[in-house]
Amino acid sequence: MITAAPQEPGLGPLTYREHTWHGLRLLARCTEGPGRIVEVLGEVATADHVVVLVPGNDNHLGNYFDPGRRTRPRVNGVGLLRTMDRLAPRGRFAVVVWLGYATPNGFVEASLRGPAERGAPDLARLTHALPADAHITLVGHSYGAVVCGLALGGGRVHDCVVLGSPGMGGASVQALGYSGRLWAALGGRDWIRFFPRGRLGGLGHGPSPLRRGFGAVRFATGPIRGHCSYYAPGSESVTNIARIALGRPGEVTLAGAAAGGGASGAGEQAEVAR
């Protein structure tokens, strides 16, 4: 059991404890404010690989179970687990869907750093509560990439994957205090490429992780549709996320690489974001 510090006035701390609720296996559930939930998919206690999915804005307990939404983090978690099982049918792994922070509402709030700053310590603390010998991967989508970026310095993370990131709260991997591998993806039709990249006080999240010199390796997504399609079933994107989560970096296909070339040719520079 692990208790996190309160995220914002009016919200109590989350207590992480694996338990069953309505047939689901949870690490936490909180109905205060917009509501938060942390669900376990698979056997986390015996997993060799644990991947933690961190969704972006406009997600909360009230819409977490709605499969018709575009962001649908729970559906994405189930799909990623199935992809990992397809790639490693005898593997031991688990997915944790971490909707453990009060996400921002809409574009304006998503430009603010505050929600990520309040959620990041709790996310970092979760990584230390996972099995000590497991390979840990954080996957942050959209604003969730900011939360991941701010959690990396205090977390126990081997690989971090950011999808459609508006920034990570720092100017480089080193500035984030992270010594693991950072992977980044940006779909060809993702509008986030136009998100303002400046930072002033609590406004803005800094440069794209795809900027030259940031320290991320850009992987291929294939022809996915828009900002919320990185987990599309059967896509090159979700397959690459699963490969990273399974600790198979040499099998990851890089953006711009020749067909069949994986991350073994990983001297490739991360592509500069527009």
Give residue-wise pLDDT tens across range 152-181. 999 999 999 999 999 999 999 999 999 999
**Residue type, position 76, single letter:** N
Give residue-wise pLDDT tens across range 125-141. 999 999 999 999 999 99
**Residue type, position 67, single letter:** P
User: Partners of 21 in the beta sheet?
Assistant: 24
- In sign, the C-alpha dihedral spanning 126, 169, 51, 266 is negative
Cα(76)–Cα(224) distance, integer angstroms: 14
Percent of the chain with pLDDT over 70: 89
The pLDDT, as a whole number, for residue 12 is: 65
Mean pLDDT of 96-109: 94
CA R_g for the chain = 17
Least confident of 74-78, 85-89, 208-212, 254-258: 254-258
The H-or-E segment that residue 37 falls in is strand 36-42
Tokens of 235: 């896509």
The pLDDT, as a whole number, for residue 256 is: 84
The pLDDT, as a whole number, for residue 14 is: 80
Superfamily, domain 2-265:
Alpha/Beta hydrolase fold, catalytic domain (3.40.50.1820)
More confident residue, 49 or 199: 49
Which residue matches tokens 């294939």? 222
DSSP secondary structure, 161-220, as one string: EEES-S--SSSSTTTTT--SEEEEE--TT-GGGGS----BTTB---S-TTSTTS-PEEB-
Give residue-wise pLDDT tens across range 229-263. 999 999 999 999 999 999 999 999 999 864 444 44
Least confident of 8-12, 55-59, 159-163: 8-12
Give residue-wise pLDDT tens across range 25-40. 999 999 998 999 999 9
Cα(110)–Cα(103) distance, integer angstroms: 8
Mean pLDDT of 50-66: 97
Q: What does the mean pLDDT of the chain come to? A: 90
| Extents of the domains making up the chain | 2-265
- In sign, the C-alpha dihedral spanning 136, 187, 254, 111 is negative
Closest CA to 133 of 53, 44, 64: 44
Least confident of 42-51, 106-115, 129-138, 172-181: 106-115
Helix axes 73-87, 236-245, angle to 10 degrees: 70
The pLDDT, as a whole number, for residue 270 is: 36
pLDDT at 273 over 80: no
Q: What is the pTM of this model?
A: 0.90
User: Partners of 173 in the beta sheet?
Assistant: none
pLDDT at 106 over 50: yes
- The DSSP secondary-structure symbol of 12 reads P
Give residue-wise pLDDT tens across range 198-238. 777 788 899 999 999 999 999 999 999 999 999 999 999 99
DSSP three-state, residue 1: coil
